[in-house]
Amino acid sequence: MKHLLTATLLLLMSLQPLAAREVFALNEGWRFFYKYENSSDNARTVTLPHTWNTDITGSGIFFRTTATYENEIYVPSSWRGKRLFLKFYGAQNVADLFVNGCHTGEHRGGATAFVFEITDHILWGNPNDLRVEVSNTGQNDVLPTSSDMNLYGGLYRGVELIVTDRTAITPDLYGADGVWIRPHVVNHERVEAEAEVHLLAYPHSGPCTLSVEVTAPDGYQAFFRSLRVKPDSGKPVSIPFTLEQPDLWEPGHPALYTVTVRLEEEGSSRDSVIVRTGFRDIRVTSDGGFRLNGRRIALKGVSLYHDNPVVGSAFTPTDYDADFDFLHELGVNALRSAGMPHGQYLYDRCDREGLLVWIDLPLEQAPFLGDMGYYATPGFEANGRTQLRELIAQHYNHPSVMMWGLFTGLWTRGDSPVAYLQSLNEEAHTLDPSRPTVACSNQNGEINFITDLIVWQQNVGWEKGSPDDVAIWCTQMRRNWSHLRSGVAYGNEGIPGHRDFETRPTPRTNWFPESRQTRFHESYAKYLDSDSLFWGVWINNLFDFGSARRPYGINASGLVTIDRRLRKDAFYLYKALWNRNEPTLRIVDRRRQLRANEAQQFKIYTRERPTLRINGDTLAVRQWAPCQWLSDSIRLEGVCTVQATTPDGLSDSTTIRIGSALKEQPLRDLRRTTGLRRID
């Protein structure tokens, strides 16, 4: 019986002639089996996106292996003379494609899309077998070679079949369509830009007509031009254009233009590509901070990783929409695609909603002594350059993307990566002079002076000292390094189920109380959030993420648990600071309902002065830092009801059990006499 996709394609062909360019989703009906199974007899049918790692925190087993995906497409004879391409939006992390048993191409890197032309391997008028070998095993010449996050194996993003004429706009400019909208001058008076179009052609093809139409956000035609071109010249075609009194893109006003590029030959349409983009001017200086269209913006961002416990890394638009709700609730104006880019859908939403984006190249050093983040080998360095070109090409037209991240936390011991990083920085500026480069560093030395911007990964007061020591670090930065264009990133682990035990003489190993994470963020927010020295503040991370190398199988430094069910206390701190549209009220450490010490002090996150009552009696509070309110110390015993209210009507409350009896009474007896339930 023919495959469902085959029947669908035949139905389409029977109803209407094939247009100049057609795109078909190939996400259904893939047969999947592991390489070690040696046979496809027991293959499972899966739908893309798919990963073979979804049990992130259950068994603790993270699978790094090789697996096979098989499918079948029917290609009608009437398509002879067309060109066929398969576009894979993501395969982690090495993929080999076979069409009818013929090796068609290999892609090395799981962060970006890739395209293979399959025209020469097609059987016209017949079913065609597709086979994709995917491996997420470690490779010393494929970035990243060191990572804290799980690299989930599989075809974890969708696949498309693209059908074009022999003369067409290329669908494979480093895995992207061959249309770049290059801005040269952007201000409130005018935009001067060009459409750079890369063409496919057969030898000795005739001249074509190439046209560019620019439609303003209000729907009016802002520009149109057409010209005759020779498509087989091997060079891109550039069509300059000017927009007077442009509608500039920025947060709060994400104005998007539509650029339509058409290719015609002998009066008939050969191809067309539509790009949604925006125009904005980016400037960052040490004294002026981050400026967008001349206006200073303090970036308040979070790092966003690439998994959840239900789908692993195989995100759908619904998954991204759910995560976007947290971004809105928190009130951020920026996000960092940590470790590698996300799916295109996320950046489309950022374009539409005015969120500023930093995208990382997967060149990083995880905090494990046995790792090597940089290999001074030709294969490693070539792969890094290729992945950088793909990253820039595939996200170039997104106005929300503000900067290209070149590396994270690289060490300088042994083979120095400095010369290689300098070459990557030059490559990024050659491909895209309109955006700055950025790096996240926790090292000293010349590695910090390569990129245009530097973000300091700062953890003062976590392993030793006090989080308040970050104030001393800020003073030193201002005194000695204020000439740098600096941002700051920070964050450490906290697990809501882990408690500070007041009666335990020594702390447990692999124990990450949420309260310790909370105290860390309180101090950092107090000293860093409003410091004009930094053009951006980035929290690591919005969500906990899967890390098989860590205890419990997760990196728990997120503001929200990996299953998205619990917002940690620190989440409410930043919501109070950053979300001006939705008021916040949170009694800190409210989940710790069983307490041994009679002396207690309470902290509240909210913008306006709250009223705090203990068993109905009012307790005085004072402001310790912006949005952080601290009560007087008080001695309590027994069951106490704690309630906080604000003048605008918000209320938050919790019930705690306190007193010396808690130290001596077994938990099973306590539950019987008080009705309290164990929460951890």
**Cβ-count burial of 476 within 10 angstroms (0-12 exposed, 13-18 middle, 19+ buried)?**
exposed
Chosen domain end from 165, 196, 226: 165
Residues 31 and 133 in one domain: yes
353 lies in the same domain as 227:
no
Q: Over range 340-349, report the average pLDDT.
A: 98
Residue 475's pLDDT is 92
Instruction: With a cut of 90, say whether residue 539 has pLDDT above it.
Output: yes
Q: Kindly state the DSSP code that residue 9 receives in the 8-state scheme.
A: H
Closest CA to 232 of 205, 269, 263: 205
Q: Report yes or no on 603 lying in a domain.
A: yes
How far is it, in rounded angstroms, from Cα 514 to Cα 602?
A: 16
Q: What is the pLDDT of residue 19?
A: 66
pLDDT band of residue 675 (cuts 50, 70, 90) is very low
Per-residue pLDDT at 259 exceeds 50: yes
Last residue of a domain, one of 106, 138, 165: 165
pLDDT at 216: 98
Q: Are residues 123 and 189 in the same domain?
A: no
**Is pLDDT of 451 > 50?**
yes
Q: pLDDT-based confidence at 508, cuts 50/70/90? A: confident
Task: State mean pLDDT over 167-175.
Answer: 96
Of 18-27, 174-183, 414-423, minimum mean pLDDT range: 18-27
Give me the helices (H) in 579-646, please.
Answer: none
Is 353 found in the same domain as 499?
yes
Assigned domain for 112 exists: yes
578 and 649 housed in the same domain: no
User: 185 Cβ partners below 8 Å, 6+ apart?
Assistant: 191, 192, 193
Token digits for 314? Answer: 């195989």
Helix (H) or strand (E) holding 390: helix 378-395
Q: Does 673 score more than 60 pLDDT?
A: no
CA distance 132 to 116: 12
Over residues 141-148, mean pLDDT: 96
In a domain, 284, yes or no: no
Q: Is the pLDDT of residue 507 over 90?
A: no
Residue 679 in any domain: the answer is: no
Closest C-alpha to 404, from 381, 379, 424: 424
CB 92 within 8 A of CB 134: yes
Dihedral through CA 518, CA 523, CA 529, CA 533, nearest 10?
Answer: -140
pLDDT digits (tens, 9 = 90+) for 3-23: 444 444 444 443 455 668 999
What's the rounded Cα separation, in Å, for the pair 198 and 237?
Answer: 6
Q: Any idea what the CATH number is for the domain that residue 605 is in?
A: 2.60.40.10
What distance in Å separates the CA atoms of residue 310 and residue 303, rounded to the nearest whole number?
20
CB-based contacts of 244, cutoff 8 Å, min separation 6 = 189, 190
The Cα–Cα gap between 84 and 23 comes to 10
Nearest Cα to Cα of residue 331 among 571, 572, 560, 578 = 578
Give the residue, 51 or 510, on which the prediction is more confident. Answer: 51
The CATH code of the domain that includes 81 is 2.60.120.260
Same domain, 330 and 433: yes
Three-state secondary structure readout of 408-421: ECCCCCCCCCHHHH
Task: For 625-666, write each residue's pLDDT tens digit.
Answer: 999 999 999 999 999 999 999 999 999 999 999 875 455 444
**Per-residue confidence (pLDDT) for residue 110, from 0 to 100:** 97
Percent of the chain as helix, strand, coil, to the nearest 5: 20, 35, 45
Do 81 and 198 sit in the same domain of this protein?
no
Q: What does the DSSP 8-state code read for residue 471?
A: H
557-565: Cβ within 8 A, 24+ apart: 557/491, 557/492, 557/493, 557/494, 557/517, 558/491, 559/302, 559/330, 560/326, 561/496, 562/56, 562/57, 562/307, 562/308, 562/309, 563/308, 563/309, 564/308, 564/322, 564/323, 564/326
**Pair (295, 399) in one structural domain:** yes
Q: What is the mean pLDDT of residues 191-199?
A: 97
Residue 275, pLDDT > 80, answer yes
- Give, in degrees to the nearest 5, the angle at Cα 409 between 404 and 412: 115
pLDDT of residue 640: 95
- DSSP H helical ranges for 40-166: none
Question: How far is 500 from 518, CA to CA, in rounded Å?
Answer: 12
- CB atoms < 10 A from the CB of 182, how many? 16
Q: Which of 528, 549, 583 is the last residue of a domain?
A: 583
pLDDT score recorded for residue 463: 86
pLDDT score recorded for residue 665: 45
If one counts the domains in the chain, the total is 4
What integer best gives the mean pLDDT of the chain? 91
> Is 680 within a domain?
no
DSSP 633: P
Residues 370 and 445 in one domain: yes
> Is position 50 within any domain?
yes
Output the pLDDT for position 10.
Answer: 41
pLDDT of residue 42: 86
Q: Look up tokens 């086979």; give the residue.
A: 131
Q: What is the DSSP letter of 238?
A: E
Higher pLDDT, residue 202 or 23:
23
156 and 210 share one domain: no
**Of the ranges 146-150, 189-193, 265-269, 676-680, which one carries the lowest mean pLDDT score?**
676-680
58 pLDDT tier (thresholds 50, 70, 90): very low
- Whether 205 is in a domain gets the answer yes
**Better-scored residue on pLDDT, 41 or 194:** 194
Res. 503 pLDDT band, cuts 50 70 90 = low
* Residue 81 and residue 225 in one domain: no
> Are the beta carbons of 605 and 331 closer than 8 angstroms?
no
CATH number, domain of 471, equals 3.20.20.80
Q: What is the mean pLDDT of residues 564-590?
A: 97
pLDDT of 679 higher than 80 = no
* H/E run at residue 440: strand 437-441
Is residue 496 located within the same domain as residue 622?
no
Confidence at 504, pLDDT banded by 50, 70, 90: low
The helix or strand, by DSSP H or E, that contains position 326, with its residue range, turns out to be helix 317-330
**Closest alpha carbon to 229 in 291, 148, 168, 283:** 168
Tell me which residue range forms the domain holding 607.
594-674
Answer whether residue 85 shows pLDDT above 70: yes
Band (413; pLDDT cuts 50, 70, 90): confident
Instruction: Identify the pLDDT of residue 302.
Output: 98
- For 195-205, letters b (16+ CB in 10 Å) and e give bbbbbbbeeee
Domain assignment of residue 253, yes or no: yes
Residues 300-332 have pLDDT tens digits of 999 999 999 999 999 999 999 999 999 999 999
Confidence tier at 390 by pLDDT (50, 70, 90): very high
Confidence (pLDDT) at 62: 77
Q: What is the pLDDT of residue 667?
A: 40
